[in-house]
């Protein structure tokens, strides 16, 4: 299972890096074209025109499953 360790995008219009650091932290770029939300709980993106408005920069950690015998 993947765990979110960084929730961030780059706006392809103004170049701002937008990072949501905690749940319900709705962060927008300076030109208002894109936003990120969710912190390390979930990824939510909003954009003005299309998914081409931003570049994904989020980072994930792969949790290792522990099996007991």
pLDDT tens sequence across 45-66:
999 999 999 999 999 998 775 5
| Residue 67, pLDDT score | 53
**The model's pTM:** 0.86
Query: 48-61 burial, b if ≥16 CB within 10 A, otherwise e?
Result: eeeeebbeeebeee
């Amino acid at each position: 299972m993947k765990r979110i360790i960084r929730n961030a995008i780059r706006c392809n219009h103004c170049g701002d890096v937008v990072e949501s650091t905690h749940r319900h932290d709705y962060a927008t770029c300076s030109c208002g074209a894109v936003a990120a939300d969710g912190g390390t709980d979930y990824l939510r993106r909003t954009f003005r025109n299309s998914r081409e408005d931003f570049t994904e920069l989020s980072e994930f950690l792969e949790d290792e499953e522990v099996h007991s015998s």
